[in-house]
Amino acid sequence: MWPDRRLLDLCGIEHPIVQAPMAGAMDVSLAIAVALREAEDQGKHAALVTPDRALARRVVAALERWRVPVDDSGGDNLADTSAGRFARLAAEAALNGLEPVTLLALRAVGVMDARARGLVVQAGLPAKALVGA
């Protein structure tokens, strides 16, 4: 399949990117969508990272036709995503301690799981502060 896999193995790359001649933009987006669908069917995680929003939209459209779940965050500022807000608040909590306002803001982001809640309760904060209204 691939003549020399040493670099691929070193970087942990299972499926290298291969350049192939395509007739047009639709062929490219369809080939990418097929590769992403195959990864999804095998229970693997895959991502398309591209600055080309038109390509990303075509790939998303193909995947949606096949009912493959897609998380298209293209064009979103990281700070505006829930993961970005959580990271910013977690850093603030690490620097300033678990002040009630920061803790409630972390809870409001909605990405804290039960393990994180358990850690906060172990830190001596009341468990009812973490329970949703």
- For residue range 82-98, what is the model confidence (pLDDT) as tens digits? 778 888 888 888 888 88
Average pLDDT, the chain: 74
pTM of the model: 0.48
Burial environment of residue 68 by CB neighbours within 10 A (0 to 12, 13 to 18, 19 or more): middle
Query: Are 41 and 72 spatial neighbours (Cβ–Cβ below 8 Å)?
Result: no
- Greater model confidence, 35 or 122: 35
Helix boundaries (H) for the chain: 6-11, 25-41, 53-65, 82-96, 100-109, 114-122
Q: What is the pLDDT of residue 22?
A: 67
Q: Are 89 and 101 in contact (CB under 8 A)?
A: no
Neighbouring CB atoms inside 10 A of 106's CB total: 21
In tens, the pLDDT along 27-56 reads 888 988 998 998 888 888 888 878 788 888
The pLDDT value recorded for residue 67 is: 92
Does 1 have pLDDT greater than 50? no
